[in-house]
Amino acid sequence: MELLREGARSLGLNLSPRHLAAFETYYKELTSWNQRFNLTAITGYEEVQTKHFLDSLTCLLALPKKEGGQAIPDTVPVQLGAHPLWCIDVGSGAGFPGLPLKIMLPEIKLTLLEATGKKVTFLQHMVQTLGLQNVEVLHGRAEEVGHLPKHRERYDFVVARAVASMCVLAEYCLPFCHTGGRMVALKGEDAEEEAHAAEEAYTLLGGSLTAVKPLPIEGLRPGSHLVVVDKHAPTPSIYPRRPGIPSKKPLC
């Protein structure tokens, strides 16, 4: 896990032997299950370290900070507030970025939301295998779960990767954020244009664009960015719309 260790160090993170052992186990289980269930196209040892694990950990740069402020730092801030962060990973797939975040910050309360049954089974297996506490694996769609009182506007930190365009992703994610919470999306080379094109959708859903943070970190996908959207007002009750509508009729 040397590539992951060095990449994490560039983010200001020091991975302990416990962290590295957990990521090693995650890699072995991912590649083993992938032979049967096709969870990911990226399976090489070095690529998984950088394009899955390290890529996920970049979300920590945008952790909500106690004192507020919009600037996204170059290294992970060492402050999480007085209470454990409630985090949801929307469209978690094989667990990215949610599970790497939980490995690094075991105190967060994490929900992994995934619509595909075989991936849900894998996520449940990984939570058990890694001995993770305070993790809920949900089999469902964001358009439906986003209306459930247990999950609607309950989260401090909503993360997503490679799920949809920002116009669609905002409708999936912002209903989960409480007012004062934050949505973070991992995006590629077109992040700047995509993020600004969705500003009307953020406003409609109670949010606003805070930052588009480039990630010039060795090993990541070229043009990697974090798109950060903060929640300032409740999301109107009609959102998210019923399953399939956000992708067919985007808000912008």
**What confidence tier does 76 reach under pLDDT thresholds 50, 70, 90?**
confident
Q: What is the pLDDT of residues 15-62, one digit of tens each?
A: 999 999 999 999 999 999 999 998 999 999 999 999 999 999 999 999
Q: Give Cα 252 to chain centroid, integer Å.
A: 22
Residue with token string 């009609």: 238
Backbone angles phi, psi at 249, to 5 degrees: -130, 75
CA gap 135, 109 in Å, rounded: 6
Q: Which residue has the higher pLDDT, 234 or 83?
A: 234
Domains of the chain, CATH where assigned: 2-66+80-248 (3.40.50.150)
The conformation of residue 251, written as its DSSP 8-state character, comes to -
Would you list the DSSP string of 114-154? ES-HHHHHHHHHHHHHTT--SEEEEES-HHHHTTSTTTTT-
Cβ atoms of 98 and 89 within 8 Å: the answer is: yes
Q: Characterise 196 by phi-psi region: left (phi > 0), alpha (psi -120 to 50), beta (else).
A: alpha
